[in-house]
Amino acid sequence: MSRTRIKICGLTREADVDDAIDAGADALGFVLWPGSARHVPLARAVALARRLPPFVTPVLLFVNASPSEVRAATEALPQALLQFHGDETPAQCAAAGRPFLRAARMAPGFDLLDFARRFADAQAILLDAHLEGYGGGGKVFDWSLIPAAAGFPVVLSGGLNPANVAEGIVRVRPWAVDVSSGVEAGKGMKNASLMRRFCQAVRRGDDQLAAT
């Protein structure tokens, strides 16, 4: 049975990085967009990413960053997966020459299949709620907007927490889940117990899927 991968995003503190790893996260996200309350400068992201053991992937999140900013980040952390969460075009995402996730802001009328076709070079499409700003709002979108047979890897995001992530896994069957505010004591400050409970809930969701 395949297992759902876990990404915890918006890490800002060393202790939170260590706790996320201990909880069982497969990837940790560092927000390089200055407009976020969870923003960390590139040098800080590099320092935090140095704490990651083998097989835990750093993810660098960009929102409408310049090519020079993306290039500097990829040179500083060449092992990182990139996540584009703004209004980037397919060409802008591909220009970095690195594996990337592309965020889609889900809302009624949004054509996810066409979006995924345009971003066919993405490793996966990350599905988030459509809010003012770019992510991190802690809001769940209507999962029925996701086509039953998407045909591409999906990362489910948007308002996930220990109480609802198992249901999301059973209903959506994503390749991975992404959480930020749902495991926080405050913006940018993760809670070790919530991260552990979230990862345990993901495994319960996987068990429920296996039993169907």
Which are the catalytic amino acids?
A: 9, 128
- Looking only at the bridges linking them, the beta strands covering 189-190 and 184-186 are antiparallel
Length of the chain: 212
DSSP codes joined into one string, 107-170: -TT--HHHHHHHTTTSSEEEEEE--SSSS-S-----GGGS-TT--S-EEE-SS--TTTHHHHHH
